[in-house]
Structure 1
Amino acid sequence: MALSSWGDPEFALRMASRLVQAPLRETLECFSAVLADLVPHRALVMLTGDCSRFPLMWHGEAEVTEGLDNGDLTALSRLVEVGRPWTGQASLGGVSRPVLAVAAAPNGSAGALLAVVLPDGGFPEGVRQRVVQQLWDISTAHVVDQLVEAVPVHIAGTWAAASERARLVAELNAEYTSVLTAQLGALRSKGLDDATARRTAIDLAVSALIELRAAADQDRAAGEETAADAFARLAGTLSLLTRYGDVQLELAGPERGDRVLPADVALAARATVRDAVLVVLDHGGVSRVRVAWQVEDGGLQVSVRDNGPGRLSKDSAAVHRISDRLLGLNGSLHVDSVPDWGTALTAVLPLTPPEVPDAHPLGVLNPRELDVLALLTLGRRNRQIAEQLHISEHTVKFHVANILNKLEVGSRGEAAAVARDAGLPSRPPVATLAT
């Protein structure tokens, strides 16, 4: 293709239009097609700071792209300035290759580097390099825009993992709090000399570490446990909290100890009691704490009662933290504080777990079906969708049928309504220019 073609405004706009309409995952494929005659190349490699999941992407000959890693492009990025094309030999996959590299960082972007792997035989002239730079500026801005607009279907799994991580972090935090409280109790105890107190604190830490590891293994291996076993594990933790203090601990285990509890319910019950005991001990003036579990047909009731000053407010931050833990299991917490008589915290946890909805209503669709649905939502007909996505009408019909089936709807209008409710798309893509 003659360079003069790029001096034609209609042609240049048509090429730019192709770039800003490319689906995110087809960015490099489209860029390669636009670049093919302007700068012949063997492969394109991109390193972006805007996509943490797939920062390194490539398109082209397998011989070139095999063995690539982030380090290759990271090293190259140190040689390239934003807006200033760079040419030279670069190591890619352990092989030195001729490269034209450009970098762009539009507003809202962490920056993106493109390495155009050239055939042997020289580098493109300066004006072609500048055209590549300008095209990459356009393409990078479009990528940033797509990342902002994207429906987070692909991170549904990440959401679930993050939720589970948050639960585990909260559990471990509470476990560590219990251990540290017990250690402080030993170190502050007036009945232990310094050497004994230190030795006791060390013993507590070692035994707690063993218990934490055993508990983690059991939680991973089991999906349920009996009420008696769950209460026994709780009793071991509570004994650490009161062993060297001046607080008498009374434990009333469940009468129906053979009743099986879901692992989540047992875990939440132990955590609730442990947190409640820490709260009442923190308020001071407590010499006796009674913990009781009762298994009923509809759920598990756990209670913590003390003989303290009875000034714990149901609106306190500590109480809200306990309540928040119960919300995910449709549990409830009741606080009854009577001045000079003490405080009672009672939680009820249903034994039947709540139904968990899909992480995202469009999570059942694959990326191409999402592309089709986005255009369908904008009122595009099959022919228009086919033209914009560069596929056949027959393929569009196939995708539409799959979309209706997966979303369990009976018409394109119903599918569009589901998509709009899910936030797809927030604005229409750029219209296709005539070719």
Structure 2
Amino acid sequence: MTSAQKTLAPKPLAQNSKTLLDDLAALVNAPLMDIAERLREAVLPYVGNSALIIFTEDCTGRPQKKAGAEEIISRVSVPELDQLRSQLPDREPWEGTATIAGAEHPVLALTSETKALVTLTAPQLPADPAERAESLRMLGYLWGLAARRIQEKVADAPPSYLLESRAASAERLRVTAELVDRHSTTLETLLAALRSNALDDATARRNVTDLAVKALVELRTVSDRTTDLVEEPVATAFERLREDLRPLMHFSGIDVQFIEPPVNGRALPGEVAHAARAIVRGLVLAIVEQPQVRRVRAQWDCDGENLLINVRDDGQGELSADSPNITRLASRVEALNGRMNLEVMAGWGADVQVALPLDPPPAPVGDAGGWGLAERELEVLQLLSAGQRNRAISAKLHISENTVKFHLRNIFRKLGVGSRTEAIALAHSHGMRAHV
């Protein structure tokens, strides 16, 4: 066994207690981008592994959080993790072989109550049955804690994280769409050729046609799955809210009534959907702390530009806009450029209205004046910040794709950024979005 391999093996359980509290503290206090590394450090004394991968739809911009072997964490994909998650028992450790990073690997995987997934590649567990059971129990405990902290951190994320998350979501969708366009054209051309009567080998043509059709379906599935992570149907988002509040309804004895949003309402950006559920959960928790509350009503609606949230209770009207819980929720709403209004009626309860914009707000051109962009460069940046691809920008501005690339290089240099994602995030931080 090499020295590198030795670091992956679990230590005897008797040696773990002296570091467990430190590992727990590091995990609880870790920023979102470091939480996979901290979780792996906490898990290693119990379950050795070559890599640890988290897949969570709470973070729409970066649904994967990874630590460990570079050859695995640099190549693992969302469809692979989504496929693995669909096969797992609910919140029970599963050991087997799965396709990770384009190859078959032995894995240990586990879901959480937040529907997130953790996957450990090349897992190593103690041989002794009792120690093995204890190691799996500790893995479940640590993973449950990490999954819940991810959900809480996303709910309390600062505006800068929300902007970066939305920019990353738009960029991932753009890249996937470009891949779908390119490969769909290739495969459709292949299908046309294979269906041609000029090919006389019917069996070969049929077999290859079936393969090409299957490849097209899989490619479209990847595109649809990526879109699902970026946007969420409003009805689906509301149903997840209902599931989130079900335990509270069961144990508190309070009747929570849900007024469904229109099923054909506009899909919600992932950040808005997660924030809306967190806001309603927070409001309901603040409301049930009041005495004599028996009924709460939660309603969502959509006017095409905003998600409209209304939460009201039948208490004595003791909810205060100055309370820490309400102040924290108001900051969350403000981070998404939303509005929150609390009306309290003594003896009749409280009524909270929230409006969350579905799009970043447009900003006047003058807001970007300090960047020194030429008029055409500014037009390209506005279209880029709206999620447009090079081909679409080229068509809209009646310039070639090479010219678009030339303008983008100049924009990156003037903005001091190194990628499309960084440029989009900076543009969104200034409220820039073209109307396309």
Higher helix share: 2
Larger radius of gyration: 1
TM-score interval for Structure 1 and Structure 2 normalised by the shorter chain:
0.3 to 0.5
Alignment TM-score, normalising by the size of structure 1: 0.34
Alignment TM-score, normalising by the size of structure 2: 0.34
